[in-house]
Structure 1
Amino acid sequence: MKMFRKLIADYLLLIVLLVIVAGTLNFIDDGYQDEVLDQQVLDESISQAKADHAQRQHELKALQIQASNMTGVK
C-alpha cells in the first residue's frame, strides 16, 4: 500500500511538472507570436510610408513642371 501511494504521488508530481512546462511553453509561444505580429505591422507601416513618399515626390515633380511652365524657367 505504501508503494502504491508513492507511485500515485510521483505521478501527481509528474503531472504538475508537465502542466508547468506546458504553461511556460505556451507563454513563450504567445510572446513570439506577438513579436511576429508587431513586425508585420511595422513592415506594413514602412511600405505605406514608402508609397506615400513616392506619391508626394510625384506630386512635387508635377508642381515643379507646372511652375516652370507658368514662369518659363526650367
Structure 2
Amino acid sequence: MATSTKTKLIAKRSSKYLEEALYRRLFREGSSPASVRKELTLFLKSRKRAFKWEVGVSIRKLRDRKCFRPALKVH
C-alpha cells in the first residue's frame, strides 16, 4: 500500500492568495531587518492570504535570522 502526500502547489493558487511563497517574498531584497519589515508591511496592507504552513515556515526563518519583531508581527 503506497501512501501519497499532498503537495501544496503555489502555482495553482487563486487570486486571493499571494503569488509566491510568503518567506520568499519577505527575503526578496535580503535579510536586513529594514527590508523584511518593509516587505511584511506591504504584505499586510495587500490583504492577500497565506496558507497556515507558509506562516509557520516564515516565522521559523525569521527567528533563525534573528528578526524577532517581524516574526511577532506575522504571528
State whether TM-score is above 0.5: no
Q: Indicate the structure whose relative CO is greater, using CA pairs within 8 Å and at least 6 residues apart.
A: 2
Task: Specify which structure has the higher proportion of helix.
Answer: 1
Bigger Rg, which one: 1
TM (normalized to structure 2)? 0.22
